[in-house]
Structure 1
């Protein structure tokens, strides 16, 4: 088995459990905070928002730092640091004796994150051009699926094994990720003794600055879209279910349906990107995702919503691989970790911004309007991609073909 393929398998598992570890706390957080002695409903909501959001905000700050470290000292050391650190921190959350300790541990979790950045950089630099789309497409499913399935997994563990075991079991999975990384990931990395570049010097060496910024923004918009419904999905499902019962479980399944579809679609659309061009797949996927959000506002029962969420996941499966493939092509190999770190920061900010946007739109306009606004955001991004990415790349191909 080629080294890149074996590393891909290990990194996929590690990124999946890391994604679960970041998001599994969502459904049990209010209950756990209440158990820690916070009784007032408004205080529970306030502390829940802080504890959930602080991890992603801090991760957005530290992700480029760990990306730089991956370029400087190697990707495998960053994988080991992040996986072991998260295993210990998440496990310790089960022993938190008050809400301030819990928030502190969630903050620390954001500081030590970086497993996804190192994995993406490792696979992007090891995989040959012919297989890069498949490899990055497969890898992109891990973090997205882990983040989207995390709330469902956390809720299942809490219901069947107890609240504290959510943290212990998740930490145990991360410890397994550390061990598999330690023994099975192979990397040949030559450390550089060159002068450390500042951020401005790093940016000056990026050949396609405009396209790079465009890809950052697109990745941010993708993540905002995926998480905009998280604050309202339970309320929406409750209204659609007509007293079916198990609302929390059904809401978790509905929210996670797009993550399941993403697992199936992303590797295949990654391969398609290798054949026809990542910019084409990205444009079609953005437009299709935007259009699929709109009918979610018109559904009459929860099964229709689940079906549309699943179809949405199929389209979104073409977005992350396309962004990563284009990012790899336009980024010098020595700067890959830093640029992918910035891209991961955009994703972390997107999780927080998406949840905040969904909550505000629902509060001011209504639950169904969340789907309209999110669909419009994706369609506007698709138009921007058409003029700023698709047309220039297609024109470049035609020019190259004419000159030859």
Structure 2
């Protein structure tokens, strides 16, 4: 293990953290394609029960992650971010092994909740890099880091499906655990952090954390923006395959077409995030954020009017390119408005809002589509994002107006 006196190379840390986020993203998405099949294998029968249990098993991880994130963020600010990365990777690895040994759906549900409680690799990696990278490179660094989890999430479902076909469902959990353990090892040996532990008495309390922010209302608006980004993404997820089937008609390769259309936003985000992050460093991340939100609204509306799957695919690719700028821009603005002392908690609060969006988005999409049809989901989602455009613009303008008044 490297000497603690060796100067930190933040670029190497960024590369290793990117690999860790890639492995974590891949590990999480490896089991997603067949999670309902595993629920069925554990004894759940009947379409209604299967749908209910599959939804519970999927969403409970995000729910418990939202609850646990602030606690882990506070611990990260006290003990360091590297130890939180190690805790997350090793904890998730152990839970994945136990999932592969589950004997009934209740055990799986409890283990999925435990996975949410022990997670948090990606937000802690963001906090680690945000506190080490030069401020004028924050947008590029966090944009680049975001592509790690996106790349893993794109590769995971394909690899998981192939492995499940070859080896069965349970072995994939053990393979996923191995991937997470590799993430633990590379983090242990290659990530460098110079962190002086802070005693509990010296830790800032919640009110002091809020008071130390440069613009508390702006930070709250950024949390809300993160939530709405995930709501917008998740609201479309439950109905996408069915919407594609309506557009395509009676074709034999509907699964392939749906898979392609589902994955193209991730590919676009992978290409756009570092470039738009770098542009944000030059012109300001707030401009990138507002522009990307406006573009998202303008792309969501025609998605409700398309007539073919390929039209939908092109629009989703463009939407992915805009979405690739959103979370890195939010994270960069959080870096600008928080000190290193509270970075762990600020990023963990942001993760909680993201998880809330992951839970509520699919519920909104399913409810709207059940009442008003598939196309209505895109209009409702566009309205939600439009609200966020107005809210974010006002929140970003307020600190500028205050600063201008002080200078006068």
TM range (shorter): over 0.9
Deviations 1:15-37 (A, max 9, x none): 23323434443331221111111
Structure 2 residue aligned with 1:308 = 315
Distance 2:324 2:237 in 1: 19
User: Is the CA contact 2:227–2:356 (under 8 Å) kept in the aligned structure 1?
Assistant: yes
Question: Does 2:59 match 1:30?
Answer: no
3-state SS, counterpart of residue 361 of structure 1: helix
Structure 1 residues 297 and 156: CA distance shift in structure 2, 3 A: farther
Q: TM-score, normalised by structure 2?
A: 0.92
Structure 2 residue aligned with 1:197 = 204
1:325-364 aligned at under 5 Å gives the runs 325-364=332-371
Q: How many aligned positions are there?
A: 401
Q: Which stretch of the first structure deviates more once superposed, 195-204 or 313-322?
A: 195-204
Deviations 1:254-273 (A, max 9, x none): 11211111111111111111
Structure 1 residues 247 and 170: CA distance shift in structure 2, 3 A: farther
User: Is the CA contact 2:8–2:193 (under 8 Å) kept in the aligned structure 1?
Assistant: no
Question: Does 2:208 match 1:216?
Answer: no
Question: Does 2:73 match 1:59?
Answer: no
* Alpha-carbon offset, residue 84 of structure 1: 1.1
Structure 1 residues 188 and 207: CA distance shift in structure 2, 3 A: same
Structure 1 residues 222 and 243: CA distance shift in structure 2, 3 A: same
Gaps in structure 1 of 5+ consecutive residues:
none
User: Is the CA contact 2:30–2:159 (under 8 Å) kept in the aligned structure 1?
Assistant: yes
Match of 2:49 among 32, 43, 65: 43
Structure 2 residue aligned with 1:95 = 101
Deviations 1:171-212 (A, max 9, x none): 222111111111111111111234343323333333311111
* Alpha-carbon offset, residue 161 of structure 1: 4.1
Question: Does 2:306 match 1:292?
Answer: no
User: Is the CA contact 2:13–2:190 (under 8 Å) kept in the aligned structure 1?
Assistant: yes
* Alpha-carbon offset, residue 335 of structure 1: 0.5
User: Is the CA contact 1:151–1:252 (under 8 Å) kept in the aligned structure 2?
Assistant: no
Deviations 1:70-104 (A, max 9, x none): 11111111111101111121232122121111111
Gaps in structure 2 of 5+ consecutive residues:
1-6
Structure 1 residues 395 and 12: CA distance shift in structure 2, 3 A: same
Question: Does 2:143 match 1:114?
Answer: no
Structure 1 residues 112 and 25: CA distance shift in structure 2, 3 A: same
- CA RMSD for the aligned pairs? 2.1
Structure 2 residue aligned with 1:247 = 254
Structure 2 residue aligned with 1:75 = 81
Q: TM-score, normalised by structure 1?
A: 0.93
